[in-house]
Amino acid sequence: MQTAQNPILRGFNPDPSICRVGEDYYIATSTFHWFPGVELYHSRDLVHWEQLPAPLSRVSQLDLRGDPNSGGIWAPCLSHCDGVFYLIYTNVRNIHGICKDTHNYLVTATDIRGPWSEPVYLNSSGFDPSLFHDDDGRKWLVNMKWDPRFGKHPFDGILLQEYSPAEKKLIGEPVNIFKGTDVRVTEAPHLYKMNGYYYLMVAEGGTSYAHGIQMARSKSITGPYEADPQPLLTTRHDTDYPLQRAGHGCLVDTPDGDLYTVFLCSRPLDKRSILGRETGIAQLSWSEDGWLRLKDGGILPPLTFEVNLPEAPVAPLPEVDSFDMDTLPPRYKTLRLPFTERMGSLRARKGCLRLYGRESILSWNETTLVARRLCAHHTETTVKMDFAPADYQHMAGLTVMYDSYNFFYLHVLGTDEGGRELRIIYRDNMDFFDPLDGGAVSLPDSGSIWLSAEVDHTTLRFSYSVDGEHFTAIGGALNCSNLCDEHYAAMKHEGHTGTFVGMACQDLSGCVEGEVCFADFHLMAYRESDT
């Protein structure tokens, strides 16, 4: 028996969907405006998880150019049937205002590592689509339905419609099978058939501090569905609990019949979820009247959990990436587009990641940025960079970023006199700030520069070095509590991601062939702890 701690997938890993194939477990999580789309993880014991290559790696499968911050991939659903993996996902093209543009697609693969097919379009009636494989061979899609009308609640229940694999399209008429409980904001549907019932698992309360998992059941797949008198899991009644915002679940069983739910949650600091929404797990049991309950009988997500499976550890990630590699490992993400020769190269200079300057760090189209998620409340990240800017419109450096509305950027740029200098900018929703008050640090005209960022809970400290040994602080102690979903609420926008730290390069003059601005990164060192 193993005892482990939640969350199992730390850092920005929301909206988990889980499935089992034999003794192997797979989880898919949302990636929003980060590329490639949908994170995949593999485990054999539900405790130790290895990140796999992302399935949506081609622009033909997913083009996020122009998608807003926190748009893009919402709530994928991963399932397996008759030797085929099915992945359903939404590309959300608009999230602001009374309308949402939510296009739902399906891709398939016979191997979880790919290749994955070209997408099949399904519908656009709402987000959080999920595919259910019934025991009679039929397949059914469920998703929430969005209502844009004034005077109506925008979450208008759960739609059910049959999917035809032969025709590769939805068939028949959609049926609204469940309007939800009085908690409202009914979303994230998953269907299961157990003990003679169709069980519908949904999330309610919105993906913040009122979030939770609600169950309903029916003898018929089309309903009517009876709601469980109590939520399966929520922290809405205990806002001081270490795990918050718990909800959006998905079920999985073990070969021995034990039943678990994965769920999203966060570890906020003073109501600030700097790490984003993460993934936890809890064991379930059945009540006498046929409802699922947490094994301990309560409704709070467990801080620890037990698993009766053989331990299957995975290799730890290296603390230092030297970029002497052929491809970027799955932990690295880009914004909206894949890492191609237009963005950068691992071959142009041996042992270096070369990034080519493109649009600004604010762009929703073609930004050159390679980043990894923060997974702990205390992290230290250092990069070694070679960069020879020809102008102050050429810049490259180290960013700590939630998205283009909330970020901090320590960067090298050119001067009017042809030299180099170091500056900091940061953005807090609609406002920009300069911790150096218009000043800059002069740098040698040539040679490598080391840039470092320490995130200690909600405090960020930058430093730099010209020899890799002696570091000088720059910018002071910066309050980085804006790097979270909750900060968006003040702007009345939606934020659903988490904090990343990454390497960036911009050429605001416009790249001319043969005169491309670039920066070479020799390494990225990342160390973390939760103390």
Give the C-alpha separation, 531 to 379, whole Å.
Answer: 10
Report how many helices (DSSP H) and strands (DSSP E) the chain contains, helices first: 1, 40
Predicted confidence at residue 512, as pLDDT, reads 59
Q: For 368-383, how does the pLDDT look when each residue is reduced to its tens digit (9 = 90+)? A: 999 999 999 999 999 9
C-beta separation of 49 from 42 below 8 A: yes
Predicted confidence at residue 449, as pLDDT, reads 98
Residue 223 has which token pair? Answer: 């309903």
Give the C-alpha separation, 239 to 220, whole Å.
Answer: 37
Predicted confidence at residue 419, as pLDDT, reads 96
Task: Please indicate whether residue 181 or residue 96 has the higher confidence score (pLDDT).
Answer: 181
Mean pLDDT of 32-53: 98
Q: For 319-366, how does the pLDDT look when each residue is reduced to its tens digit (9 = 90+)? A: 999 999 999 999 999 999 999 999 999 999 999 999 999 999 999 999
Angle (nearest 5°) at CA 42 between 37 and 48: 125
Predicted confidence at residue 513, as pLDDT, reads 58
Is residue 82 exposed (0-12), middle (13-18) or buried (19+ Cβ within 10 Å)? exposed
Average pLDDT, the chain: 96
Mean pLDDT of 469-494: 92
Q: Is the pLDDT of residue 518 over 80?
A: yes
Look up 366 and say whether it is catalytic.
Answer: yes
Give the C-alpha separation, 206 to 228, whole Å.
Answer: 18
Residue 385 has which token pair? Answer: 């960079």
pLDDT band at 511 (very low <50, low <70, confident <90, very high): low
Strand partners of residue 424: 410
Predicted confidence at residue 488, as pLDDT, reads 84
Mean pLDDT of 209-225: 98
Mean pLDDT of 507-513: 78
Residue 130 φ then ψ, to 5°: -145, 145
Percentage of the residues of the chain whose pLDDT score is greater than 90: 96
Mean pLDDT of 90-99: 93
Greatest extent of the chain over all pairs of C-alpha atoms, in Å: 79
Q: Is the pLDDT of residue 456 over 80?
A: yes
Q: For 420-431, how does the pLDDT look when each residue is reduced to its tens digit (9 = 90+)? A: 999 999 999 989
Give CB contacts under 8 A, 24+ apart, made by 204-208: 204/180, 204/231, 204/247, 205/234, 205/236, 205/247, 207/14, 207/245, 207/247, 207/248, 207/264, 207/277, 207/496, 208/245, 208/485, 208/486, 208/489
Domains of the chain: 2-307 (2.115.10.20), 320-529 (2.60.120.200)
Catalytic residue among 366, 421, 494, 528: 366
Residue 295 has which token pair? Answer: 């094994």
Q: Is the pLDDT of residue 491 over 80?
A: no
Q: DSSP strand E in 437-486: where? A: 441-443, 449-456, 459-465, 472-479
Mean pLDDT of 170-193: 98
Mean pLDDT of 101-117: 98
pLDDT band at 39 (very low <50, low <70, confident <90, very high): very high
Q: Is the pLDDT of residue 1 over 90?
A: no
pLDDT band at 493 (very low <50, low <70, confident <90, very high): confident
Omega of the bond prior to 316 within 30 degrees of 0, cis? no
Percentage of the residues of the chain whose pLDDT score is greater than 70: 99
Residues 6+ away with beta carbon under 8 Å from 393 = 413, 414, 506, 507, 508, 509
Around 109, how many Cα atoms within 13 Å sit in the side-chain half-sphere? 15
Strand partners of residue 359: 367
Is residue 328 exposed (0-12), middle (13-18) or buried (19+ Cβ within 10 Å)? middle
